């Protein structure tokens, strides 16, 4: 399984998946056949999470092949990402509390043998050790495996979910503050309070296609409890006024300028912002950093070929920008944290239309959000 960093590669992967495998997606998507056989799922998340291709493009292409009804499961999965993002945008303190907890836990667990065995793939659970190595080698895990992994981490290895979420962020090419943090909270039983996800031997055996057996797990755990409650922010995510003579910043979540809602506007300069490990609270594996850098470089190459004036800058350079400037909204996560913690006030955000439209439906659970999916699809496709 490889993840080339060009948009062309991502488009080919999308088209190939739709032509060859989408038809069986809802039947086969839960099977993890191993890293050498990923045709039952799209493996597009490293591209969608960086905005190399968009949810609208994916849904659009899939609807050229199959009707909405035949495609419903896939469309729902594609829109989970927007839902998780919106959910977190409405409750930014969930992210801030996570980082606070993480700081303390990292200190407390730095010499904990149970934790060190887990991150080094040296537990007595064979499948777990295999996934640790798979994650480190391929920087990707199947969705069902992420659920099993997180469940074993929390309920059998008895480790804090926050450290597991950090471990995923460090190694995943698609590492995303909303999908990852909330995915881990969901497994722990904090998203739907009291409802945890419990990995079981029969389920792993069946959906790993019998690759793993004889797995001794805690199959009757109680959900993680947390007494914090989060009120919903009243934010309408309105765009800043556009002006031709302003610079535009593009962060790692929205890298394709050409696919953006603002591709017809002219900007003074377009700057792609690179955020390296010096400025991140969660330090990323070198391969993940290189993946991001290479995605950015390829976008710049594509735009330069079309005579658009753009270049890469480091996130620290923003502090020296004196005039006011625009930025594609980076979403809750390390880039926005940098802007806020450095008190950068001269940046004004532009939001994606689909986020502005969909995030208002993210105050409750996904089952509620699902009711609005036909409306969202009708509006944007």
Ligand X SMILES: Cc1cc2nc3c(=O)[nH]c(=O)nc-3n(C[C@H](O)[C@H](O)[C@H](O)COP(=O)(O)OP(=O)(O)OC[C@H]3O[C@@H](n4cnc5c(N)ncnc54)[C@H](O)[C@@H]3O)c2cc1C
**Which residue number is nearest to ligand X in terms of Cβ?**
183
150 touches ligand X by CB under 6 A: yes
The three-class DSSP label of residue 310 is: strand
Distance CA 363, CA 170 (A): 29
Q: Which is nearer to ligand X, 123 or 253 (CB)?
A: 253
Among 22, 41, 326, 373, binds ligand X (CB under 6 A): 41
- Identify the sign of the CA torsion 198, 202, 204, 206: negative
Is residue 295 packed enough to be buried (19+ CB in 10 Å), middle (13-18) or exposed (0-12)?
Answer: buried
Q: For residue 164, give the nearest of 204, 135, 207 by alpha carbon.
A: 135
180 touches ligand X by CB under 6 A: yes
Find the part of the chain contacting ligand X (CB under 6 A) among 2-10, 74-82, 224-232, 236-244: 74-82
Find the part of the chain contacting ligand X (CB under 6 A) among 115-123, 170-178, 323-331, 348-356: 170-178
Q: How far is the CB of 145 from ligand X (least distance, A)?
A: 8
Residues 6+ apart with CB under 8 A from 298: 5, 6, 7
Among 167, 168, 207, 257, binds ligand X (CB under 6 A): 168
HSE-up of residue 325 (Cα within 13 Å, Cβ side) = 20
Find the part of the chain contacting ligand X (CB under 6 A) among 166-174, 219-227, 240-248, 357-365: 166-174
280 touches ligand X by CB under 6 A: no
Residues 6+ apart with CB under 8 A from 190: 161, 223, 224, 226
Among 6, 143, 200, 363, binds ligand X (CB under 6 A): 143
175 touches ligand X by CB under 6 A: yes
Q: Which residues bind ligand X (CB under 6 A)?
A: 29, 41-45, 48-49, 77-78, 80-81, 84, 142-143, 146-147, 150, 168, 172, 174-176, 179-180, 183-184, 187
């Amino acid at each position: 399984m490889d993840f080339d960093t060009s948009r062309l590669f991502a488009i080919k992967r999308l088209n190939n998946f739709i032509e060859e495998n989408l038809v069986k997606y809802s039947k086969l998507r839960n099977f993890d056949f191993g890293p050498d056989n990923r045709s039952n799922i799209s493996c597009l998340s490293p591209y969608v999470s960086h905005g190399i291709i968009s949810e609208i493009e994916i849904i659009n292409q899939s609807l050229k092949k199959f009707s909405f009804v035949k495609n419903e499961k896939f469309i729902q999965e594609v829109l989970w990402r927007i839902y998780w993002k919106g959910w977190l945008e409405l409750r930014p303190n969930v992210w801030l509390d996570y980082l606070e907890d993480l700081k303390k836990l990292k200190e407390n667990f730095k010499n904990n043998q149970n934790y060190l065995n887990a991150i080094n793939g040296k537990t007595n659970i064979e499948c777990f050790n295999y996934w640790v190595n798979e994650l480190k080698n391929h920087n990707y895990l199947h969705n069902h495996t992420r659920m099993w992994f997180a469940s074993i981490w929390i309920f059998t290895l008895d480790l804090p979910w926050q450290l597991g979420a950090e471990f995923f962020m460090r190694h995943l090419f698609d590492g995303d503050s909303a999908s990852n943090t909330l995915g881990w909270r969901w497994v722990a039983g904090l998203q739907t309070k009291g409802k945890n996800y419990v990995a079981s031997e029969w389920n792993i055996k069946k959906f790993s296609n019998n690759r793993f057996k004889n797995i001794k797990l805690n199959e009757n755990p109680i959900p993680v409890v947390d007494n914090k409650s989060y009120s919903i922010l009243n934010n309408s995510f309105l765009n800043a006024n556009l002006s031709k003579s302003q610079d535009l910043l593009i962060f790692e979540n929205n890298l394709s300028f050409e696919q953006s809602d603002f591709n017809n506007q002219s900007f003074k300069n377009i700057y792609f912002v690179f955020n390296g490990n010096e400025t991140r609270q969660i330090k990323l594996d070198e391969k993940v950093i290189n993946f991001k850098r290479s995605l950015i470089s390829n976008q710049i190459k594509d735009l330069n070929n079309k005579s658009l004036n753009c270049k890469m800058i480091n996130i620290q350079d923003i502090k020296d920008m004196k005039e006011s400037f625009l930025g594609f909204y980076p979403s809750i996560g390390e880039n926005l944290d940098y802007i806020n913690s450095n008190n950068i006030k001269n940046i004004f955000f532009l939001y994606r239309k689909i986020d502005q439209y969909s995030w208002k439906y993210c105050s409750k659970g996904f089952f509620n959000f699902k009711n609005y999916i036909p409306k969202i699809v009708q509006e944007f496709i």
